[in-house]
Structure 1
Amino acid sequence: MFNLRKSSKISNVSLDYSLLSSEQIRMIRMNVENALKKDSFILMVTSPDKDEDEALLSSKLAIAFSEQKKRVLLVDANLRNPSIHSLFAADNTNGLANAVSQGKKMRMYTKNTFIENLSILPAGTVSENTPNVFVSRNLEESLNGWTAEFDVIIIEAPAFLERSDTQIVAEHCDGIVLVVKANKTKKEKIVKTKSYLERAKKSIVGVIYQTG
């Protein structure tokens, strides 16, 4: 697990993906904390129009926050292409989709990991009710439940411009980390995503620029 070897950067910080928890990841964590200036928050990790290793990046950020003894919940909101569960060798039978669509308490499906202070909520089973998951009032109720039990909630979401799900989830987040890739993510897509978030009064608290 976590054996991808790629090079990325945020501002002038290089990232070595071969490291499970690097000093560079901790610097990203500090950037997020300085931008939000809150002890507890909900953070979403997404890309403008393609999935660019958000699951791996989200997991690394979650681990970095858990190192501070914070109670961290990593949520897989990529219901159509889930992967958080596989990174942590967890079962994906039940998770976010089940908790929200059925109005269940998220604790029923939250799973502890091999990392101290870090829990995950897998995407869960997609059903015919899945398209309604993110427009249900149950989503807000679930988020309120999460914030009562965790200090940091990191939501790994699908590509921002490709799924309305992500735009709905963003409304409930305190900050957004945007993942873009050199020679792949088009500038107009980045600008469009930024404009949408600004209109929604949501802050981009970090941009991770992948060069590999």
Structure 2
Amino acid sequence: MIYRFYCAYPDVTQEYMESILKLVGNVKEFEVFRFQEDTPYVVDEDGEKKRYTFILKDDRENEFWLYTACGYSGEGPRTTRAILHLLGLKDDFKISKEGNNHIVESDLRPVHKINLLIAQDKAEQYRSPKRAYISLLSLEFKYAYQRKNFMDALKLMGYIQNVRKDDALNEKSYLFSWFDVSEEDYYYPTNNMVTLRSVFRDFSKENIEVMIKELIEKTGGEITEEKEV
């Protein structure tokens, strides 16, 4: 099936892809056209020619026709990269490389992964940074929508931060050096820490681990590594 979405605002296109994520399988191929006049994906709709510049094809025989890339910088290329990251494709596809006006990638293998440090808010007063660290998990999901569902549910339980390996502001950032993460990993990041809300402050370590693992199972995830911290 072909799904088409044509909008001049790239951020709205990104929101659209997030909203229909459950319809998207694992993307096996995509095409990007830098300039509208180069694309053969043209449809007469609503009295105008709509030229789609970003085409995704998944393993369910679906195609997603979008309009994003225009120029070498700015919101168009940024949104193209962000959507690829959303779909588990975080390689360097040289989206912004000058002269790279038609990009075709095939035989793709999306990865829907999360490395998650779980922390408990043990603050005794306002603004106290005290935390108790529970565990570090590496998770994998079969599809992008499952990963997103997990992260959306986790946001209701606590505050999520992206963690860089060299983050001087996070005392546990060194733990993420155990994992190999693409240098392109900046939208929908792989390495995260969740600090659970104060309502969970008195939960035991064991109860928190059970709670998180039940959420992982319900959203279709699998724990591939588990480390004590």
| Band the TM-score falls in, shorter-chain normalisation | under 0.3
Q: Which structure dedicates a bigger proportion of its chain to helix? A: 1
More contact order relative to length (CA 8 Å, sep ≥ 6)? 1
* Structure showing greater Rg: 2
Q: Which structure dedicates a bigger proportion of its chain to strand? A: 2
TM-score (norm 2): 0.23
TM-score (norm 1): 0.25
